[in-house]
Amino acid sequence: MKKTHLFSCLIASCISAMPLTGAAASTPSPHSYPNMAPLAQYLMSDRTTEIALARSAAPPSISAQATVLVLEAHGYVTAVEGKNGFVCAVERGWMSPFDAPNFWNPKLRGPICFNAEAAKSILPMTYKRTLLVVAGKSREEIKKAMEAAVAAKQLPPLEPGAMSYMMSKQGYLDDQAGHWIPHLMFYTATNVDWGADKEDSPIMLNTQFHGAPEPVNVLMIPAGKWSDGTAAPSM
């Protein structure tokens, strides 16, 4: 697996080959999830569980005062009003790259906590894709709709300093990586070079939006520990 194929998040492709801790599911065929499953399979029946999972994306010092979203049949709704500008949610597979095998994987759960800048400029992309999903649109229709939204400037511009936490030990990012490793994500314009994926660079380029309609690069840095403070496996 190449690390430029990780699903973040939102989001959840695969990374370069490495030993993983814990049990990992067997690798599915790239065609295991060609179509959307029934919407109910993407929902979590227990709101309290989803809130806790969303909060696990970041250390309690951040997530305890954050706004928390949960996914319902008509899209994301606010379950908890926060006080610090951060917004935590659990993303599903459709926040993957459009060509990702896991795009329609109903098992994916990507706890993520956006800072205020990302909540203003990245989270609207999550809202938009999700509304298209619950409306029953196909992967191709969603991509075309996102292309049209970007062309019409219907999405807010990227805010400087936008970033998010993905440090949950409970997430499920794909069938091979499981919860992978805790990491931080920084959102930049596509012409910004951080030396991602260079030899010995700790920075990785997430393909969530790379080559997608949304003009954003997602740069990832391993965090070294989970949001509960326990040590994480090394890469």
The 10s digit of each residue's pLDDT in 126-141 is 999 999 999 999 999 9
Residue 153: which domain range? 39-222
Please check whether residue 28 lies inside any domain of the structure: no
| Confidence (pTM) | 0.83
Place of tokens 């205020």: 116
- Asked if residue 133 is part of any domain, the answer here is yes
Cα 178 off chain centre by: 13
Angle between helix axes 139-151 and 123-134 (nearest 10 degrees) is 140
Q: What is the pLDDT of residues 147-201, one digit of tens each?
A: 999 999 999 999 999 999 999 999 998 877 666 789 999 999 888 887 777 887 7
- Which one, of 97, 9, 24, lies nearest residue 54 by Cα? 9
- Position 233 in a domain: no
Domain count along the chain: 1
Residue 51's SS3 state is helix
